[in-house]
């Protein structure tokens, strides 16, 4: 898929790592045959051509993961001042990862809503999240 451009930063906004495929969204990665997200090593901002191509074979959010600025209270997943999806992904009852456990590469970790809420626990399960299972 062509028509994507690199973007250095997203203005410091907190980012939702499970956003829609829309022009301006950041492409986080692609869903592999094993059902896990393979993350990109750089930030790639999608444009209207990418969105059109990605949706031509079905719903793009079933094959790719995207990030956009977190909408906080405007999002239906925002509950009690937190992202309920981020809490579910982190599995609040799971122990912290070992100090020597490396986290998967992520181009948005410093701005990620889920990481800001739950730290490394969110990263451990993030690659298993597919936004749209259609």
Question: Please, which pLDDT band fits residue 132 given cuts at 50, 70 and 90?
Answer: confident
More confident residue, 89 or 133: 89
C-beta separation of 103 from 115 below 8 A: no
Task: Tell me which residue of 21, 25, 28 sits closest to 53, measured CA to CA.
Answer: 21
Q: What is the percentage of the chain residues whose pLDDT exceeds 70?
A: 83
> Is residue 2's pLDDT more than 80?
no
**What pTM was computed for the model?**
0.83
Per residue in 17-44, pLDDT tens? 999 999 999 999 999 999 999 999 899 9
* DSSP code for 37: E
**pLDDT confidence of residue 100:** 60
């Amino acid at each position: 898929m062509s028509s994507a451009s690199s973007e250095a930063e997203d203005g410091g906004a907190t980012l939702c790592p499970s956003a829609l495929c829309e022009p301006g969204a950041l492409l986080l990665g692609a869903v592999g045959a094993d059902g896990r997200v393979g993350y990109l090593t750089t930030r790639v901002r999608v444009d209207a051509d990418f969105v059109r191509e990605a949706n031509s074979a079905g719903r793009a959010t079933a094959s790719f993961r995207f990030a956009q600025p977190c909408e906080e209270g405007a999002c239906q997943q925002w509950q009690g001042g937190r992202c309920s999806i981020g809490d579910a992904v982190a599995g609040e009852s799971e122990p912290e990862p070992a100090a020597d456990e490396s986290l998967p590469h992520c181009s948005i970790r410093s701005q990620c809503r889920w990481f800001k809420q739950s730290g490394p626990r969110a990263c451990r399960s993030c690659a298993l999240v597919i936004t749209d299972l259609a």
